[in-house]
Structure 1
Amino acid sequence: MSQLLKYREKLNLTQEQLSVKASVSVRTIQRIEAGREPKGYTLEALSKALGIIKDELLENNNEQPKNNNQLIKFINLSSLFLIFLPLGSIITPIIIMYWKKEINAITKQIVSIQILWTLAFPVIVLTSAFVGKWLSLSNQILPLTMVLLFVANLYIIIRNAVEINKNQKLFIGLNFSFL
């Protein structure tokens, strides 16, 4: 909730009444209540009209919307569909994410991790095949690489599920997002 809205409602003022009292437009008040930060004259006029200091009006109430941790954990674990479908680790979480409208930083990170894994998988497998041929290693290097990559992805999925359960965040995340 916007600080302006909180103080305006505390004084039982409508947006129109506050706009007249502060000599700013109703549209400006609506923008500030929607999340825009007041500056300059507007900040001064509103704080004077509400009888508060400027800093109180600028305080951000950093209430993050509560995430549905069970659903986020389910989205993360749905990445396990990679066992059955080649792109299942990406498609399934995206479908659930948009269907349930649980689009936030954590779910975007979950999908981004799976996109990165899906892009890296063929590159690493092909590289190991070429290196195996070049160094005359046994033919078992390719299946071993694939199994190790699947196990690594399984570890990432399970470890993130545990961390979501404990701390409502990802243990293994990226510094960027593909979404």
Structure 2
Amino acid sequence: MNKLLKYREKLNLTQEELAEKAGVSTRTIQRIEKGTEPKGHTLKVLAKTLGVTEDELKENIAEPKTETINYQLTKQINLSSILGIILPPINILLPWFIMKRKNQVNEITKQIISVQIFYTIIALVCILLSPFISKWFGLTKQITLILLIVSVIINLYVIIRNTIELDKNQKLYIRLNFSFL
């Protein structure tokens, strides 16, 4: 809860009453209670009106919001990447769309999409290089198909393993040290 809101409610004042006593607009009180930090004159008059020091009012004016993560939805976002086996861009676009649509933007969902972006880039490079690799090393002509099947199996493993870890420990088992998002 916001410090200004706490002090205002402690004195049983409405936003309008506090605004009138402090000589500021009601809109200013609303903005500060939403998280805008008061500065200068506004900070001084509010502190004086509420009978607190400026530092007390300024410190943690908006307490840090704890990020609420819906782990069921996060697992669904992760599992939606499986559809990318059929059409590779879907393993990125569908989870991203669900993340944005359901307003589930957090570090875990960003990591899920980053892992899929990384997987897609690596798989694409390997498959594009496969004809050259087969020519250089004299491997079978089916190397492209083999690489495609192996990359699908690896992606399935990553998705399923991360889903299991999300279910057990609410974190990803396979993640990157960086994020593309």
Q: Which TM-score band applies after superposition, normalised by the shorter structure?
A: 0.7 to 0.9
- Deviation, structure 1 residue 73: 0.8
1:104 aligns to 2:105 (yes or no): yes
1:120 aligns to 2:104 (yes or no): no
Distance 1:40 1:89, change over 3 A: same
- Return the alpha-carbon distance in structure 1 between the equivalents of residues 178 and 41 of structure 2: 38
- Return the alpha-carbon distance in structure 2 between the equivalents of residues 175 and 24 of structure 1: 45
Which residue of 1 is the match for residue 2 of structure 2?
A: 2
The residue identity in structure 1 corresponding to 2:23 is S
**Cα distance per residue 1:82-120 (max 9 Å; x no partner):** 233433323432443355x23312333323332332343
Greater mean deviation of Cα atoms: 73-82 or 3-12: 3-12
Distance 1:148 1:54, change over 3 A: farther
Q: Deviation above 4 Å: which 4+ runs of structure 1?
A: none
**Cα distance per residue 1:11-68 (max 9 Å; x no partner):** 2212222123333332222221122122333333323322334444322422324221
Q: Please, which runs of 5 or more residues in structure 1 have no aligned partner?
A: none
- Return the alpha-carbon distance in structure 1 between the equivalents of residues 86 and 10 of structure 2: 56
- Return the alpha-carbon distance in structure 2 between the equivalents of residues 26 and 80 of structure 1: 51
Which residue of 1 is the match for residue 22 of structure 2?
A: 22
Which residue of 1 is the match for residue 38 of structure 2?
A: 38
TM-score by length of 2: 0.78
Percent identity, please: 50
Q: Please, which runs of 5 or more residues in structure 2 have no aligned partner?
A: none
SS where residue 24 of structure 1 aligns?
Answer: coil
Distance 1:83 1:41, change over 3 A: same
Asked if 1 retains the 8 angstrom alpha-carbon contact of 2:119 and 2:155, the reply is yes
- Deviation, structure 1 residue 69: 0.9
Asked if 2 retains the 8 angstrom alpha-carbon contact of 1:19 and 1:25, the reply is yes
How well do the aligned residues superpose, as a CA RMSD in angstroms? 2.7
Between the two proteins, the alignment pairs up a number of residues equal to: 177
The residue identity in structure 2 corresponding to 1:146 is L
Distance 1:33 1:146, change over 3 A: same
